[in-house]
Amino acid sequence: MREDSRGAATALVLGGIVSVQVGAAFATTLFDELGPGGTVFLRIAFAAVLLLVIWRPPLRLGEGAARRDVVLLGLVLAGMNLSFYVALDRIPLGIAVTLEFIGPLGVAIAGSRRRLDLLWVGLAAAGILLLSPVPGSDLDALGVVMALVAGCFWAGYILLTARVGRALPGGGGLAIAMTIAMVAVIPVGLADGGEALLEADLLAIGLAVAVLSSALPYSLELEALRRLPENTFGVLMSLEPAVAATVGFVGLDQDLAAREVVAIGLVLAASLGALRAVGTPRAAEA
């Protein structure tokens, strides 16, 4: 892979990471009025409309495997966002994202072909363990479970987004998938949000969350996955827990312990190492 292409792909990933975590912080302000379900519905609905307007996909998009992957991606987006917001309503942002990171980490491990890749995965795993809750903590059990479920969906999202991005040009596949996700979350969105979904101030925040947490980062990741292998993308995403912990500290007054600072250094090292490994010739593999 050329240096400029590698740098561009990395910038896309980093931009998506920061955007989605800032959006998650904004989303927490909606939970009291809309609940996780209503918040997810606003986020996905606005994101679907924005992506449809931007990409204007044809009504008939792809055939066979491509169409199936778009439908599956839509369902995975719905499950990933809903389970994560349920977790975020019950446990701190940094911990929720740390637990959710089992998805990208699993993709990285499954796709590893170099011994050196395992070192970066190991560093990321060490950082995740440091960020994870210690035994005997008072974390909400359902929140922990839902964060882990979101991680499983996240792995599916990475693999499906890569396939959709390579099979279909532009962002039409993502726009259709987001529309499918919107339809899938309508029941829980209406049940949680009710009439509050029509309040102007909440709609404005929901639009901001949709741009920051869905439309912008998913578009950036779609382009990144056209340029990066899924396993390298997964390891680069190890920055997500560190960014989440930082956003939680700055925006939500969630303090960082010393071990969390060490964890940030570990996942940063893993991401930088993964970046250097991209494009390494096969002959140079360990």
Q: Give 204-214 pLDDT, tens digit per residue.
A: 999 999 999 88
- The domain total for the chain is 1
Does the structure show a pLDDT above 50 at 187? yes
For residue 221, name the pLDDT band (cuts at 50, 70, 90): confident
In a domain, 108, yes or no: yes
Tokens of 140: 């909400």
Residue 284 lies in a domain: no
Vertex 212 angle, CA 207 and 216, to 5°: 110
Distance (Å) of CA 85 to CA 31, 142, 199: 9, 12, 20
Domain membership of residue 81 (yes or no) is yes
Please check whether residue 94 is in contact with residue 260, taking contact to mean a CB–CB distance below 8 angstroms.
yes
Amino acid at 44: I
Other beta carbons less than 10 A from residue 265's beta carbon: 13
pLDDT at 282: 34
For range 261-265, the mean pLDDT: 80
Q: Contacts for 109-116 with beta carbons within 8 Å, 24 or more apart?
A: 109/231, 110/231, 111/229, 111/230, 111/231, 111/234, 112/231, 113/231, 113/285, 114/277, 114/280, 114/285, 114/286, 115/285, 115/286, 116/273, 116/277, 116/286
Residue span of the structural domain in which 225 resides: 3-278
80 domain residue, yes or no: yes
- CA torsion through residues 96, 98, 102, 106, sign: positive
| pLDDT at 127 (0 to 100) | 80
Residue scoring higher pLDDT (39 or 241) = 39
In a domain, 283, yes or no: no
Give the best-scoring range by mean pLDDT among 49-63, 175-189, 234-248: 175-189
Number of H helices, E strands in the chain: 13, 0
Percent of the chain residues past pLDDT 90, beyond the cut? 37
Residue 285 belongs to some domain of the structure: no
